[in-house]
């Protein structure tokens, strides 16, 4: 490796950030840099930041401050770098470079400039870059799972969101490139691919003139990987063609991640959601009838400006009615560049938190009931870890997505080490979040 320094990466934020991290690591390794998981031993630490909401910014700032106090040389990348740019260099003398969301592929060039004594800022005003199947990648997930980005950026202008500002307009990868990367990952032994983008059901609209998700799913059906899961699928994007592709392609999991954000038409219109008032009971019921074995996950924002108790009650009733398998709830966070930050009638912080907690508590018995329905079934579980003291295993079944849903605790049969593999497990118990079972 010559005299090239060693680099550690502190990864923050979502799985989109994770893929950026993996590509930066891949490019650095290809260029001969040493990668160290120990930040204390590394010469430089790349902090891939998140800036989506206030809470994530605070985590990013805390990480940067702690590394600065430890006198580490820091390269700031990701959404906060895109957001604040040279302000970060001014605020942190320990920061040696800033790299935006559309420029992470320049990381090797940036590191060369840093070693030459510069403090470069590589931040494109309108990000256009997206990695392809030829871009080096160093995976950081567990053995059996990998994220697969099919598109980047977003063309919508939701009032609460700054993703278009941070990530640019939607740009989809060609089907051939996605399938080629999927095949590489399958050849590495990956058992589960998680398709991600900002709006997965809009995949291909920019590239092909109309969404092509159905065509992509059928093409991925030819790849020898047991599970393919989709994230960020909008309910209005489930055309008959997409539903047919899910039903007819065996390795496409019937897992529907629907970021609904609210149920009341008034709030959806204020949010400027793409479908505004169209997210009604009929859309959800139609999806449940079309995909009867579907697992339904959603996220909601409570405390949006102007949300009254009547609006919130509507949301609670909506959750009760539709019995989602998994629900995430966020308190509204005002973002400077987002229109909603200046909206009238802000909801007080204590009310936001109270509503968030109430909705999560309301969902718990529903999640418990959905999980208890699995008791007695024999399901495939992707093993992702073990407990050395008991030899018990931990993994996920098809109804649980990595990092956001529950897990399955498994009593193994024999002394096998099936890490990264699918095993059969009979479910014997359940709680509101997790399942328990015996390997069969």
Is 138 domain-assigned? no
pLDDT at residue 1 in the model: 43
Whether residues 163 and 103 share a domain: the answer is no
Whether residues 209 and 97 share a domain: the answer is no
The two counts, helices (H) then strands (E), for the chain are: 14, 19
Is the distance from CB of 48 to CB of 9 less than 8 angstroms? yes
Whether residues 117 and 177 share a domain: the answer is no
pTM recorded for the entire structure = 0.91
Confidence band of 82 (pLDDT split at 50, 70, 90): confident
Q: pLDDT tens digits for 368-402?
A: 999 999 999 999 999 999 988 888 999 999 999 99
| Angle of CA points 252, 254, 255, to nearest 5° | 105
Residue 89's CATH number: 3.40.50.12160
The mean pLDDT of 115-137, rounded to a whole number, is 91
Go through the chain and tell me how many residues it has: 440
How far is the C-alpha of 146 from the C-alpha of 120, rounded, in Å?
31
Domains held by the chain: number:
3
Residue 303's CATH number: 3.80.30.20
The mean pLDDT of 104-125, rounded to a whole number, is 92
Is 251 domain-assigned? yes
- As a whole number of Å, the end-to-end CA separation of the chain is 47
Q: Higher model confidence: residue 229 or residue 276?
A: 229
How far is the C-alpha of 328 from the C-alpha of 401, rounded, in Å?
13
The mean pLDDT of 83-102, rounded to a whole number, is 85
Which residues define the annotated binding site for [4Fe-4S] cluster?
A: 14, 50, 79, 154, 158, 161
Whether residues 389 and 319 share a domain: the answer is no
Which residues define the annotated binding site?
A: 14, 50, 79, 154, 158, 161
Q: pLDDT tens digits for 29-45?
A: 999 998 888 878 888 98
Is 127 domain-assigned? no
How far is the C-alpha of 435 from the C-alpha of 395, rounded, in Å?
10
Is 193 domain-assigned? yes
How far is the C-alpha of 68 from the C-alpha of 432, rounded, in Å?
40
Whether residues 400 and 280 share a domain: the answer is no
Residue 393's CATH number: 2.40.50.140
DSSP letter, residue 425? E
pLDDT at residue 174 in the model: 98
pLDDT at residue 276 in the model: 57
- β strands within 186-254, DSSP E: 192-196, 227-230
How far is the C-alpha of 224 from the C-alpha of 220, rounded, in Å?
9
For 410, counting Cβ atoms within 10 Å of its Cβ (0-12 exposed, 13-18 middle, 19+ buried), the class is buried
**Full residue range of the structural domain in which residue 316 is found:** 145-373
Whether residues 91 and 187 share a domain: the answer is no
How far is the C-alpha of 44 from the C-alpha of 378, rounded, in Å?
47
Whether residues 337 and 190 share a domain: the answer is yes
Is 55 domain-assigned? yes
How far is the C-alpha of 404 from the C-alpha of 265, rounded, in Å?
27
């Amino acid at each position: 490796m010559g005299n090239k320094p060693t680099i550690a990466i502190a990864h923050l934020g979502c799985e989109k950030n994770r893929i950026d991290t993996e590509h930066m690591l891949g490019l650095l390794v290809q260029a001969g840099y040493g990668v160290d998981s120990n930040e204390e031993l590394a010469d430089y630490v790349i902090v891939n930041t998140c800036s989506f909401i206030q809470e994530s910014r605070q985590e990013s700032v805390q990480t940067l401050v702690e590394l600065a106090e430890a006198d580490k040389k820091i390269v700031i990348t990701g959404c906060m770098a895109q957001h604040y740019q040279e302000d970060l260099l001014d605020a942190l003398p320990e920061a040696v470079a800033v790299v935006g969301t559309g420029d992470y592929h320049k990381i090797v060039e940036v590191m060369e400039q840093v070693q030459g004594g510069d403090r470069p800022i590589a931040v494109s005003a309108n990000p256009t870059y997206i990695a392809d199947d030829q871009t080096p990648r160093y995976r950081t997930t567990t053995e059996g799972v990998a994220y697969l980005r099919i598109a980047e950026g977003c063309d919508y202008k939701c009032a609460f969101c700054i993703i278009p500002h941070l990530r640019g307009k939607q740009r989809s990868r060609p089907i051939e490139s996605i399938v080629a990367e999927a095949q590489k990952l399958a050849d590495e032994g990956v058992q589960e691919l998680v398709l991600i983008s900002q709006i997965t059901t809009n995949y291909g609209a920019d590239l092909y003139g109309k969404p092509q998700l159905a065509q992509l799913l059928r093409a991925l059906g030819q790849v020898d990987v047991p599970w393919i899961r989709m994230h960020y699928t909008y309910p209005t994007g489930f055309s008959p063609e997409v539903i047919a592709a899910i039903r007819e392609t065996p390795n496409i999991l019937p897992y529907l991640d629907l970021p609904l954000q609210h149920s009341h038409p008034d709030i959806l219109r204020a949010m400027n959601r793409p479908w505004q008032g169209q997210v009604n009971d009929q859309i959800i019921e139609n999806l449940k009838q079309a995909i009867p074995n579907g697992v339904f996950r959603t996220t909601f924002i409570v405390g949006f400006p102007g949300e009254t108790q009547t609006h919130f009650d509507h949301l609670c009733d909506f959750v009760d009615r539709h019995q989602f398998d998994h629900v995430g709830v966020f308190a509204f966070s005002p973002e400077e560049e987002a229109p909603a930050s200046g909206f009238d009638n802000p909801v007080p912080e204590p009310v936001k938190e109270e509503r968030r907690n109430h909705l999560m508590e309301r969902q718990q018995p529903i999640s418990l009931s959905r999980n208890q329905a699995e008791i007695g079934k024999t399901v495939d579980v992707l093993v992702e870890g073990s407990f050395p003291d008991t030899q018990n295993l931990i993994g996920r079944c098809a109804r649980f997505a990595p990092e956001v849903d529950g897990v399955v605790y498994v009593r193994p049969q024999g002394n096998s080490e099936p890490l990264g593999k699918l095993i059969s497990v009979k479910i014997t118990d359940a709680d509101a979040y997790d399942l328990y079972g015996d390997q069969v």
